[in-house]
Amino acid sequence: MDATIDLKREQQATLARPRYRYSMLAKLFFRSMDRFTGEENTLTKARLIEALAPIPYRAWENRQYGLMTQRSANQVIVREARSIIAWGREAEDNEYWHAVLLNQKLKEDDAPDPGYLRPPLPWLMVRSWAVTQWVMSRVSTRRAFLLNAEFEDHSEHVYAELVRDHPEWESQPVTSAVVQEYGTFDSWADVFRRVGLDERNHMNHSFVFAGRPQHVVEYEGMPEA
């Protein structure tokens, strides 16, 4: 982690920043999730979010490989496709780590799975999101990126609110060797602050690929979007 990044300050910045004005499709999906899981933010709800998060990157990767095959003579398209694939793989790997961290914390808390994490509800949510992303990646790649930016903005705010609502995490040390592979943190609060900042990075890159760089949320120590 970049030493110049103040995780607590960035969490507060997230809480102070209004959410992006979501499209009707994004609003519908978020409301459907709340109907299944309840409106309260919980670690298990975040776990479901992380099950959905890698799906867009896989859809884009498949689409970009198809474009490179069909338009191999167009080096502009090939370069852009390779850039999207490289970033998508990095982001997908990062989302995997988020799921690992959540599972580790839930294991430490000995938290039981709620009903909405039992079949078939998770499968229905994942399947519907996968179909949506597949269609979007073929109808309008830029609109698919924008939808992902909305999803990541939502995720960033969920993590910021989770940390705010769990002050006890500030004094809970991180002893797991698994978590230490992700980074070095003084508390579980900082772990999830970092996860929220990862989501902001994904949002920023999605805005850039969507052709809307004016919506990028800058901060000290941020990676190049």
Over residues 36-63, the pLDDT tens digits come to 888 899 999 999 999 999 999 998 888 8
pTM above 0.85, yes or no: yes
pLDDT at 192 over 60: yes
In this prediction, residue 217 carries a pLDDT of: 97
Q: Which domains does the chain have, with CATH numbers?
A: 7-215 (1.20.1260.140)
pLDDT at 81 over 90: no
CA-to-CA distance for 164 and 193, rounded, in angstroms? 10
| Segment 84-131, tens digit of pLDDT | 888 889 999 999 999 999 999 999 999 888 877 777 878 888 898 999
In this prediction, residue 85 carries a pLDDT of: 87
CA-to-CA distance for 102 and 59, rounded, in angstroms? 24
Q: What percentage of the chain exceeds 90 in pLDDT?
A: 67
In this prediction, residue 1 carries a pLDDT of: 54
| Contact (Cβ atoms closer than 8 angstroms) between residue 71 and residue 77 | yes
Q: Which band of pLDDT confidence, cut at 50, 70 and 90, is reported for residue 155?
A: very high
Over residues 186-202, mean pLDDT: 97
| Contact (Cβ atoms closer than 8 angstroms) between residue 202 and residue 151 | no
